[in-house]
Amino acid sequence: MVDSTTVSTAGAQAPRESLIRSADGAPVRVRTWGAGPGVVLLHGGGISGRDYHRLARALAQDCTVHLYDRRGREGTAPLDGTETVATDVGDLAAVLRHTGARRVLGHSGGGFTALRAGLDLPPDLSLQRIAVYDPGLSLAGRPSFAFLDSFEEAVAHGRDARAMTLLARAVDPEGAGARMPFPLAELTTRVFLRTSVGRRFAQLLPTMGPEVRRIAEHDGPATDYAAIGAELLLASGARSPRYFGQNCAALAAALPGARAIVLPGCGHDAANTARPAFVRPFAEFLTAPVAAAHG
């Protein structure tokens, strides 16, 4: 469903903006850069599309990049507790229908949405190529989501530093923050909360619990994704928590047409910094001709 309002903004690399509607009437604001094969960029959890402008501009050297904010962000539909994976896929479907794009790149929680879309989109919106980086998945109980109840309780009581500390230690269980005593880690988080990035992250904490819970609820074997018909690039960072690479390798072994790669020197935030060595393999994959079976 399209409530088409297109706005051109000034500036050499300023995006074009369109306001469309998802199937349930929720507003979806799409920002578009560049020209070439259409690619929808799906951002991760705890942040918004603004954190991916650098990646969007880099990919726009070769692609038409469409970026939108998931629900619960400023200018989008507020969360009402009824959201499901179908809601996330439905919002992506609206963007695909409006833009004509059939290729997606998802980071972290956005990677989960991209892969679920590969299973659940209607035939007329079937994806040709799916690229993910450090996709947020739960495969055969990996990683652990034991922190989730405590995290949601801390968010509900406004204990942002505790919530963020619990989340950080769970996301990177082998990192420095997980190795130090919890009170010291929480004190470090309080310092982070005083930064502009920390304050933005804290504002989005209420979106994190529902998004992570949807991932946890879809735990299963890698073969759960075997029906995806799109060509797949499953990338993880050499400096990211190990389970991202393990899950990508498991998916590649179970899915026809899938390839797993590890990007040297890259951590989980590499999609946000978007250095050329990170961008290159995604640009090559997303602009390559599609095999006849996916055409």
pLDDT at 75: 86
Q: Quote the mean pLDDT of the chain.
A: 93
Domain boundaries defined on the chain? 5-140+220-294, 148-215
**Parallel, antiparallel or unpaired: strands 129-133 and 258-263:** unpaired
Asked whether residue 194 carries a pLDDT value surpassing 90, the answer given is yes
Do residues 207 and 73 make contact, with C-beta atoms less than 8 angstroms apart? yes
pLDDT at 34: 96
Helix %, strand %, coil % of the chain (to 5): 45, 20, 35
Distance of CA 2 to the CA centre of its chain: 23
Asked whether residue 8 carries a pLDDT value surpassing 80, the answer given is no
Beta bridge partners of 208: none
pLDDT at 292: 57
Q: pLDDT tens digit string along 32-56?
A: 999 999 999 999 999 999 999 999 9
Do residues 220 and 115 make contact, with C-beta atoms less than 8 angstroms apart? no
CATH, domain range 5-140+220-294: 3.40.50.1820
Asked whether residue 160 carries a pLDDT value surpassing 70, the answer given is yes
Asked whether residue 127 carries a pLDDT value surpassing 80, the answer given is yes
Asked whether residue 295 carries a pLDDT value surpassing 50, the answer given is no
pLDDT, mean of residues 238-262:
96
What is the reported pTM? 0.93
pLDDT at 10: 36
Percentage of the chain beyond pLDDT 90 is 91
DSSP 216-269: HHT-B-GGGGTT--SEEEEEEETTS-HHHHHHHHHHHHHSTTEEEEEETT--TT
pLDDT at 63: 96
Query: Which amino acid is residue 139, in one-letter code?
Result: L
The residue ranges of DSSP E strands in 60-146, in sequence order, are 64-68, 103-107, 129-133
pLDDT at 5: 39
Burial of 82 per CB tally in 10 Å (0-12, 13-18, 19+)? exposed
